[in-house]
Amino acid sequence: MRYSNATNYALHTMVHLMLQPEDSAVGVQELAEMQHLSPTYLSKILTKLAKAGLIESTPGAKGGYKISRKKHEISFLDVIHATEGDTSLFDCSIHHEGCLIENVMRQAEENMKAELKSKLLINIAKEAEAKQK
């Protein structure tokens, strides 16, 4: 069980977009080169992020992607939900009433999600930027 590569790419892209000047759109071409990915592949991931409302896209010349207005509220969990979906990690198809096993597995997952929800991308981006200087 592993996070998909798509999640990794999404996180990096989000951090990068966070650090762009306001109102400057970045094209998938540039974003893909940065991470050594094919533009079409990254495009699929970006479309997911856009559908989740985390970034905004404008087609056409001078178009591209920029971070959404929610910039300062976006958590790791938001990005992960966009790429991985939000189904439970442990999904027993049976769901016996009040199942104790499920209870434990779900609670554990909640603990992970709580942490991911508490960490905002903007803070990581700023920290990373400060570090580089």
Partner DNA sequence: ATATTAAAGACTCTTAATATCTTTAATTAA
Partner DNA sequence: TTAATTAAAGATATTAAGAGTCTTTAATAT
Could you list the residues that contact a second copy (CB under 8 A)?
A: 1-4, 7-8, 11-12, 15, 76, 84, 87, 89-92, 98, 100-101, 104-105, 107-109, 111-116, 119, 124, 127-128, 131
Number of H helices, E strands in the chain: 6, 2
Asked if 76 contacts 119 with a C-beta cutoff of 8 angstroms, the reply is yes
Work out the angle at residue 130's Cα, subtended by the Cα atoms of residues 28 and 123, and round it to the nearest 5 degrees.
Answer: 70
Cβ at position 103, least distance to ligand SF4 in Å = 9
* 53 part of the interface to DNA, by CB under 7 A: no
* Position 34, amino acid: M
The contact mask relative to ligand SF4 for 70-109 (x = CB under 6 A, - = no) is ----------------------x-xxx--x-xx-------
CA distance 113 to 24: 31
Cβ at position 39, least distance to ligand SF4 in Å = 19
Work out the angle at residue 91's Cα, subtended by the Cα atoms of residues 87 and 97, and round it to the nearest 5 degrees.
Answer: 120
CA distance 13 to 34: 9
Stretch that binds DNA, among 13-21, 22-30, 95-103, 109-117 (CB under 7 A): 22-30
Q: Site residues (CB under 6 A) for ligand SF4?
A: 12, 92, 94-96, 99, 101-102
